[in-house]
């Protein structure tokens, strides 16, 4: 059972100015708001003076707060300039006598204390579970209730005598000025429910990056009189890898609310229906087959497919470091490990978590602010993937459509070497993707890299530029050793410029540096682990160019509708 007590703000001013008759009329109007919205079994009563009570059997705290907000909104919308309904028989056909133990004293005392807190801020709702009777309440009658108040039983008896005390008559309860209560320190400093809810609205799900209340992930909020706040949170799945992060974020946000002495976070798991609703909330559609957001005409996400002709040129290392550097600049970044057979991105980013699946929607793990998905997250151990072309295509399609990427600024795809099935599938699924070609200075590698870029002539994609990796090794005396020769990157740039008929620049040269390998093996990109190293600085310079590139709006939908006058 929930007990709601309501106080009419500034009622004494109305009563003093217009007399008891005017005060009665105002109360009748205000009482009509909850009376018109009660359910079977609910009871509406006037406790005396300017206070009303609503008894809500079988109602938990969350629903009680919702009902309180609805009733308050209904009262605020009233027109008090004329007459209105009264309380002579607020619930016709639902009369019943309440036993003396029907409303536990602990509930009325707790509700009374919260009403006192709500009065202090005016036009507020204060709610919470009962924990213990507050100490320090003065001016109480021997029965524990304040003088001048009616019990539910007395109110019911008065109604049956057809002489309602709030309408005058021999049983009228005289109005009294509100008693002043002296509360104990823990009660006085208890936080308001609105403040706790406002704090929770700042907590975002670490995978979806949307506020928990917006996603329906806040199950319940309970506030004890000693300032302890308990928040029940729904997880999308049992064993959610983000549960510790969610718990930490909720605790930190609620702890900052004035009056909170401690925070308890309880975790529950969404039902199938709740997960389906979450998916609809996130995707905004009930479509059975999700579309690829990056292929839509209005998408503002830049998609870079990082390609190479041969393996072993450091393409995955370049992809991971570009992603981390872009995220460091505040961009929202995602990485698809499209090298299905030779997946290595999770290791280089230090990702051990598995994706979370909500119905047919996949939440990608994150590292260093980068969302990442890889087939290696779905295979046990170091199990090889032995698939033909159609299976590869379907896997890439799922990575792009079923994974919830959110609003990305940049999406990087780490392609396998060469011009095989994956490169063709990416061209079909993401026709607007731009190609970055990675090569070494070796001329033999450069010739193969040229073919990887020239695929754009058949797929009608744009080649953004060429990145030369392992360009030289810096020796202790400051000289450079060109381990793989020189000129490969420039050669690929010139060849692709001639082939494609548009300038394909050499974006940068990255020196051979053991720190790149060490950082990758440790799961920490070198641009973050050792940003002052020569390789990290070269990667940062390339990133600057990519981050500041302007995207043209030619051929894109601007979402504008012409207006005719």
- List C-alpha distances in Å: 236 to 274, 296, 354, 355, 401: 9, 28, 14, 12, 19
Cα torsion angle, 406, 410, 414, 415, sign: positive
Q: Please, which residues have CB within 8 angstroms of residue 6's CB and are 6 or more apart in sequence?
A: 34, 51, 52, 53, 54, 71, 72, 75, 115
Residue of 485, 465, 544, 473 whose CA lies nearest to 514: 473
Residue of 270, 296, 271, 301 whose CA lies nearest to 285: 296
In 446-505, DSSP assigns E strands to 462-474, 480-481
Cβ atoms < 10 Å from Cβ of 379: 12
Residue of 145, 128, 164 whose CA lies nearest to 35: 164
Q: Annotation-wise, does 420 bind a ligand? A: no
Q: Annotation-wise, does 309 bind a ligand? A: yes
Q: Annotation-wise, does 487 bind a ligand? A: no
Q: Annotation-wise, does 314 bind a ligand? A: yes
Question: What is the DSSP code (8-state) at residue 565?
Answer: -
Q: Annotation-wise, does 311 bind a ligand? A: yes
3-state secondary structure of 98: coil
Residue identified by tokens 């699946």 is: 357
Q: Annotation-wise, does 312 bind a ligand? A: yes
Q: Annotation-wise, does 49 bind a ligand? A: no
Question: What's the full length of the chain, in residues?
Answer: 565
What is the distance between the alpha carbons of residues 461 and 184, in angstroms, rounded to a whole number?
Answer: 71
Q: Annotation-wise, does 354 bind a ligand? A: no
Ordered alpha helix ranges (H), 169-292? 185-188, 193-200, 243-255, 272-283
3-state secondary structure of 58: coil
Binding site for ATP: residue ranges? 309-316
Binding site: residue ranges? 309-316
């Amino acid at each position: 059972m929930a007990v709601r007590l309501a106080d009419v703000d500034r009622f004494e001013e109305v009563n003093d100015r217009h007399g008891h008759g005017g005060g009665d009329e105002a109360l009748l109007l205000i009482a009509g708001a909850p009376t018109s919205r009660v359910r079977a079994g609910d009871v509406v009563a006037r406790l005396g003076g300017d206070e009303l009570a609503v008894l809500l059997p079988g109602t938990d705290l969350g629903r009680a707060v919702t009902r309180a907000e609805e009733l308050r909104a209904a009262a605020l919308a009233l027109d008090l300039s004329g007459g209105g309904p009264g309380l002579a028989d607020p619930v016709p056909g639902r009369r019943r006598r309440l036993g003396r133990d029907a409303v536990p004293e602990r509930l009325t005392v707790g509700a009374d204390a919260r009403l006192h807190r709500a009065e202090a801020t005016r036009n507020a709702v204060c709610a919470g579970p009962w924990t213990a009777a507050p100490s320090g309440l003065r001016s109480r009658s021997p029965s524990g209730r304040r003088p001048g108040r009616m019990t539910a039983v007395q109110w019911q008896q008065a109604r049956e005598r057809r002489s309602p005390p709030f309408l005058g008559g021999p049983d009228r309860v005289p109005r009294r000025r509100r008693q002043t209560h002296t509360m104990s320190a823990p009660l006085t400093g208890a936080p308001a429910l609105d403040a706790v809810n406002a704090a929770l609205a700042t907590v975002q799900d670490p995978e979806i990056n949307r506020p928990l209340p917006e996603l329906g992930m806040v199950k319940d909020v309970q506030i004890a009189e000693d300032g302890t706040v308990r928040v029940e949170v729904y997880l999308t799945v049992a064993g959610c890898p983000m549960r510790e992060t969610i718990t930490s974020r909720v605790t930190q946000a609620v702890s900052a609310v004035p009056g909170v002495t401690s925070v308890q976070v309880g975790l529950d798991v969404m039902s199938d229906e709740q997960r389906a609703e979450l998916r609809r909330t996130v995707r905004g559609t009930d479509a059975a087959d999700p579309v690829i957001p990056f292929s839509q005409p209005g998408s503002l996400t830049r998609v870079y497919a990082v390609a190479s002709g041969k393996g072993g040129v450091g393409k995955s290392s370049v992809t991971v470091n570009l992603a981390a550097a872009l995220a460091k600049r505040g961009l929202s970044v995602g990485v698809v490990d499209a090298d299905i057979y030779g997946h290595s991105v999770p290791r280089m980013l230090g990702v051990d978590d598995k994706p979370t699946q909500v119905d047919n929607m996949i939440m990608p793990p994150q590292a260093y602010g980068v969302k990442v998905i890889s087939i290696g997250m779905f295979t046990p151990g170091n199990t090889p993937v032995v698939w033909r072309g159609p299976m590869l295509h379907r896997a890439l399609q799922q990575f792009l459509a079923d994974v919830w990427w959110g609003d990305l600024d940049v999406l990087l795809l780490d392609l396998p070497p060469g011009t095989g099935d994956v490169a063709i599938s990416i061209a079909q699924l993401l026709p607007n993707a731009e190609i970055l070609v990675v090569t070494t200075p070796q001329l033999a590698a450069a010739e193969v890299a040229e073919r990887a870029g020239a695929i754009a002539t058949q797929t009608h994609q744009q080649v953004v530029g060429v990145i030369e990796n392992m360009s030289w090794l810096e020796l202790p005396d400051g000289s450079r050793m060109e381990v793989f020769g020189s000129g490969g990157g420039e050669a690929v740039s010139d060849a692709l410029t001639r082939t494609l008929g548009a300038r394909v620049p050499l974006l940068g040269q990255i020196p051979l540096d053991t720190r790149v390998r060490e950082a990758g093996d440790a799961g920490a990109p070198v641009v973050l682990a050792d940003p002052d190293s020569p390789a990290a600085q070269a990667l940062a310079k390339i990133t600057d160019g990519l981050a500041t590139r302007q995207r043209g709006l030619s051929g894109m939908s601007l979402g504008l509708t012409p207006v005719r006058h």
